[in-house]
Amino acid sequence: MKGTSLATILLAATSIAAVACQQAEQRAAAPSPVERGKYLVTAMGCNDCHTPWKLGEKGPEPDMTRMLSGHPEGMKLPPPPAVQPPWGPLATLTMTAWSGPWGITFTANLTPDQETGIGALSEENFVQAIRTGKHLGAGRDILPPMPWAWYGKMTDEDLKAVFAYLKSIPPIKNKVLDPVPPAPAGK
């Protein structure tokens, strides 16, 4: 009887130690918010639209020297050509200016530059913008093709991680244009 209880105690002690070890491992493996945010931004393709594309050796690719800096300031754009339905939205080769029934939109500068990026934006307003589809969390509607409705399904923790990562990347000064409303019908 005595032996059994000692064995039980030993067994219990071993499993407690095992659980503690596992928890410590998980803690050690848990990414920081910045690492988690980098993973999310990379896997969710933010660079596809927010990093200007250039012509690389193997064809068009995001120009990572301008990572997430949005539609390039000063880029001369002719009016978008007319498209025949069922063809729809058009993008520039940079993938940063988009034309469709919503007018013309330009991808935002997501770098932490104070004046032209998200440097002055609060975490709360960033989360609100992605959740509600309102500019800076409270303004006009955020227009296509920004997939805010899908990204808005992220947890608060993940949205904050995305923000923490964006705050950590090199700031790039690049002022992005406001959207252009659609031309009135018949024009």
Please tell me the distance from the alpha carbon of residue 98 to that of residue 64, in angstroms, as a whole number. 20
Instruction: Out of 90, 100, 179, 180, name the contact with ligand HEC by CB under 6 A.
Output: 179
105 binds ligand HEC (CB under 6 A): yes
Which is nearer to ligand HEC, 54 or 135 (by Cβ)?
Answer: 135
Which is nearer to ligand HEC, 54 or 89 (by Cβ)?
Answer: 89
135 binds ligand HEC (CB under 6 A): yes
Which is nearer to ligand HEC, 44 or 77 (by Cβ)?
Answer: 44
Q: Label residues 23-48 b or e (16+ Cβ within 10 Å = b).
A: eeeeeeeeeebbebbbebbeeeebbe
State the minimum distance, in angstroms, from the CB of residue 36 to ligand HEC.
13
162 binds ligand HEC (CB under 6 A): yes
Please tell me the distance from the alpha carbon of residue 127 to that of residue 122, in angstroms, as a whole number. 9
> Would you give the binding string for ligand HEC spanning residues 21-60, x where CB under 6 A is met?
--------------------x--xxx-xxx----------
107 binds ligand HEC (CB under 6 A): yes
Q: State the amino acid at position 78 in one-letter form.
A: P
| Residues contacting 20, CB < 8 A, separation 6+ | none
Instruction: Out of 67, 104, 127, 146, name the contact with ligand HEC by CB under 6 A.
Output: 146
| Region of 2-10, 55-63, 80-88, 104-112 interacting with ligand HEC (CB under 6 A) | 104-112
* Backbone angle region of 64, left / alpha / beta, with phi > 0 → left and psi within -120 to 50 → alpha: alpha
Please tell me the distance from the alpha carbon of residue 158 to that of residue 128, in angstroms, as a whole number. 13
